[in-house]
Structure 1
Amino acid sequence: MHEEVNEWVDDVLQRKKYADFLTQYLIAKEGPFVININAPWGSGKTFFIEHWCEDLKKEHPCVLFNAWENDFSNDPLLSVISCIEKDLSPLLSVTDKENNEIKNRFSSVGEYFKSIAPILVRAAVSKAIGKDGLEELLQLNEKDSADVVEKVTEKLIQNNKTVEKAIESFEKSLEELIEKLTCNQEYLKKPLFIFIDELDRCRPLYAIELLERIKHLFGVPGIVFVIATDTEQLKHSVNAIYGSGFDSTTYLRRFFDQSYTLSLPDYVEFAKLLFQRLDPDLVNRFVQIGISLSGDEKRNWVNIGGDSNEYRGSDEHTLTIEKNELAEMVLLFSLFSSFFKLDLRTQKQCYEKILAIISSVSFGEKLHFAYLIFLVMLEAKNPVIFKEYFSFNKNQAHKKTELISGTFSSFYNIRIRERLYHAIDFVRFFPKMFTLTMIEYQKL
């Protein structure tokens, strides 16, 4: 008998089971561990991380750090330390009074990093501009600039060992705090989970500096780091800093003990998840085209006139679905999602806009779903081309088609009776049949 899984609210990708699996996997590691959760931008990483973190808080101390919201900071490590202090300090109130000592030490480390942050910033600047940059700086005002560089260098030498001691002190404080928070197994258990989200959206320099700085904490006993990234995008950030020929794959691998890629549904599967809660009665609000459910229905097709060449067999790109009331809408939605190559987040936004439009249209009026979803997705994908599309009048249908066909394409197709149709076939059809203006569309 399988244990019932309570899904997260609005978890259309049904990913809670992956979080539960990873929780068991990471707890079993029994030691410091760093795992990379990889998925493309717009595929629901933040939703996954936030809900997973909330689940874990029931039994484990947790910290959630949004890297993108903090990439204005001059020192990534200081930002992470501040977040750890902010998220864990409230938990001290439920433990014994001795924790005040740890709390004070915790805060003092943060204060120390604030005091030396300007020095670290100057060091980063001098490192970034390099030898040639320093020479140019000296030429601007040789005496004053030389004094600045000399003082910064001297201060860095003086503080280098102190910085190391501060990090060691923080690591010790963090380790003691974990012990205090988890000493009562009925309340919280090891490990401490530290989630770092949206690293791939940060400035390249900040993203790399964050990884380089927090690696000092990777070895603290009782901590699991969960770092969510679009790894391909993060590789671009690495190459932006170290050069296009730099081996970014090997570089990133040294930070992570393991990587886990979130599985993504195909276009039809995700559309089915989106439409599963839609009232089937709403199908009557749309013009029906008569899209076949299966990829190949030749056995059910009546060859009128005996011309067998009219039938076009399905291929590996033909979208299929089982029989249900929403099948036509799902297939059309999937067809244009693939045509515009929309990420999951944008697909969900387009679906929600369709719902809003349905609710605004007077009962009894019929909508052409294929045309509507084409316009909604075009606007979401490229507002500039969307505006240009409406700039042509009804006598310039060919220009509308050329504008779209010259920018977007897809091999995916659907069957309508004896023929396979690609999205571009619909695009050629729309200008001949519809004269909707942008103003009319915006009133929908």
Structure 2
Amino acid sequence: MTYRIAELEVPPESPFLNDGLGRKPLVEFLASLIGKLQGPFVLALDSPWGTGKTTLVKMLKATLEQQEFQCIYFNAWQVDYVTDPLVALVSSVDRLSLGTGEAESAFRSHLKTVKKITSAVAKRGAIAAAKAVTLGALDLEKDIEAVAAEVAGGLAGDAVDAFQKETEALAKFREELEAAVAQLKRAGKKETLVFFLDELDRCRPTFAIEMLERIKHLFDVQNIVFVLSVDKSQLEASTAAVYGEKINAQEYLRRFIDIEYMLPVIKGEAFTELLFKIFNLDEIFAKRSNSELRYDRKHFVEFFSAIADVTELSLRTRERCIARLQVVMDQTPENNYLFAPLIALLIVLRTINKSLFISLKNGSTAASDVMHYLRGLPGGLDFIETRMGILLEIGLVLADENGERKDEVLSDLNNQVVAEKADQINGRASKLQKMMGYFNNFDYDGPRLSSMVNKIELASGLKS
């Protein structure tokens, strides 16, 4: 049984083979946009963590490569242990191959100078960092002066000359890098080199900011386009961590990003259906052929998708929820009642609001408390008025194992129904009472909260 989804395969020859979210039109739009950019240019694809950015970027990379663009995929999080991000960036360029002709030879020649300057810059930065760390431990004034002179590039009187030499070296870096990229066209490729920089928002704050600085000051050359895959709010937090809370992080990041594109949030049942396919849940639900159980799959997909939308679950969190459903199904015999709508709600609550889930488990929380929580969510007020919201509320009431509280709620509900009928209105109480029919269809007196909660608690031991 599968409890964790492997990374989605994006075949280079068929980028949309596993596109269960229907992102082909978006990818093709972005590919068309990038194809029109001359560079230097930085495009940021903004979306929260866990919303499928990496898969989208890999589809985009494969699409552009089919159009003869030379692309580099660069996971910043995997290399944030290096002292200088410049080393990692140049290393990724060095792995490119333009074949065996003159273009490749010229590319290597120009890149040799780029690598040489990179090594000098990285070594200089490492010396400065080391001296900054040890400076406080030095005792003698002459030692401090010696350290300062070394970091500055020589004696105090040579500081201006050292600065001028460094400026010239960095200008040479950009010149040689641009000349190297110019060989793409000679090799029969599109003239633009596209960098896909992923997971920058998960890096150490200092590394993330240094990476942006390197891109801005050293890779700002003709025919290089960067596509940053980021959660911009996290990148803003990194900026504040480096420069202090008072900095205007949004304005600061605008120095580095030319255009931001907010990726649309995936909602509805499409991703749930994809997860069912990947986790092989259809095979499990197909065995539930009893007349009263055959709708369990349909009801779970419908209710889970709606609840996940209201609670704004990321795709990664939805994946974690379906992994927990796997465990629940493993504990539920194929001829036993699942009460899919309540299972869907409880799995989501255990994932995003553990304290509310635990209080339900302990019996200290009533159905009304859960509905109050849902009502306070964006879109929650509309949701609880739907057929699904009403069914969930009465289901929680009937599943309550505090007999005294349950009887009191049902008695109050009956009184409200009588009052609504007297006023000739079809209010919420009447709708709740009618929805009890869903649970009355079962051959005993309804769901048991403890049974459902215990299955989900076992599932919650999964680490995903």
Give the TM-score normalised by structure 2.
Answer: 0.69
* Inter-CA distance 22–116: structure 2 relative to 1 (3 Å threshold): closer
Q: Deviations over 1:44-97 (max 9, x none)?
A: 1111112211222231111111111111111111211111112x1xx23x2415
Confirm whether residue 24 of structure 1 aligns to residue 24 of structure 2: no
CA distance in 2, matches of 1:217, 1:180: 19
Confirm whether residue 64 of structure 1 aligns to residue 33 of structure 2: no
Confirm whether residue 282 of structure 1 aligns to residue 285 of structure 2: yes
Structure 2: stretches of 5+ with no match in the other structure: 1-13, 402-447
- The alpha-carbon deviation at position 355 of structure 1 amounts to 4.6
Spell out the pairing of 1:286-297 with structure 2 (5 A cutoff): none
* Inter-CA distance 99–173: structure 2 relative to 1 (3 Å threshold): farther
* Inter-CA distance 171–406: structure 2 relative to 1 (3 Å threshold): same
- The alpha-carbon deviation at position 142 of structure 1 amounts to 5.1
> Which residue, out of 173, 176, 182, partners 1:173?
176
Name the amino acid aligned to 2:221. Answer: V
> Which residue, out of 328, 352, 364, partners 1:398?
364
Confirm whether residue 337 of structure 1 aligns to residue 304 of structure 2: no
CA distance in 1, matches of 2:199, 2:226: 14
Which residue of the partner structure matches residue 203 of structure 1? Answer: 204
Give the TM-score normalised by structure 1.
Answer: 0.72
- The alpha-carbon deviation at position 147 of structure 1 amounts to 3.2
Spell out the pairing of 1:207-286 with structure 2 (5 A cutoff): 207-267=208-268, 270-271=271-272, 274=275, 279=282, 282=285, 285=288
Q: Deviations over 1:128-184 (max 9, x none)?
A: x9xxx97xx278665544432332223594654444444334433333333333225
- The alpha-carbon deviation at position 195 of structure 1 amounts to 1.0
Q: Deviations over 1:213-264 (max 9, x none)?
A: 1113443222221111111221122122222222222221222222211111
Which residue of the partner structure matches residue 185 of structure 2? Answer: 182
Which residue of the partner structure matches residue 147 of structure 2? Answer: 148
Which residue of the partner structure matches residue 434 of structure 1? Answer: 449
CA distance in 2, matches of 1:325, 1:431: 21
Confirm whether residue 74 of structure 1 aligns to residue 83 of structure 2: yes
CA distance in 1, matches of 2:310, 2:397: 14
Spell out the pairing of 1:89-168 with structure 2 (5 A cutoff): 91-92=97-98, 94-97=99-102, 99-100=104-105, 102-123=107-128, 137=136, 144-155=143-154, 157=159, 160-168=163-171
* Inter-CA distance 272–363: structure 2 relative to 1 (3 Å threshold): closer
8 Å CA contact retained: 1:275, 1:326:
no
- The alpha-carbon deviation at position 210 of structure 1 amounts to 0.7
Q: Secondary structure at the match of 1:57?
A: helix
- The alpha-carbon deviation at position 379 of structure 1 amounts to 4.3
Name the amino acid aligned to 1:81. Answer: V
CA distance in 2, matches of 1:143, 1:213: 34
8 Å CA contact retained: 1:204, 1:238:
yes
CA distance in 2, matches of 1:227, 1:367: 44
Q: 29-38 or 165-174, which moves further after superposition?
A: 165-174
8 Å CA contact retained: 1:42, 1:345:
yes
CA distance in 1, matches of 2:290, 2:345: 15
Which residue of the partner structure matches residue 390 of structure 2? Answer: 421
8 Å CA contact retained: 2:46, 2:263:
yes
Confirm whether residue 36 of structure 1 aligns to residue 44 of structure 2: yes
Identity in percent: 28
Q: Secondary structure at the match of 2:196?
A: strand
8 Å CA contact retained: 1:99, 1:180:
yes
Name the amino acid aligned to 1:55. Answer: T
- The alpha-carbon deviation at position 401 of structure 1 amounts to 7.2
> Which residue, out of 297, 305, 317, partners 1:346?
317
Q: Secondary structure at the match of 1:64?
A: strand
Spell out the pairing of 1:294-333 with structure 2 (5 A cutoff): 328-333=299-304
* Inter-CA distance 7–330: structure 2 relative to 1 (3 Å threshold): farther
CA distance in 2, matches of 1:216, 1:253: 14
8 Å CA contact retained: 1:46, 1:197:
yes
Q: Secondary structure at the match of 1:398?
A: coil
Matched positions, count = 388
Spell out the pairing of 1:44-59 with structure 2 (5 A cutoff): 44-58=52-66, 59=68
- The alpha-carbon deviation at position 344 of structure 1 amounts to 1.9
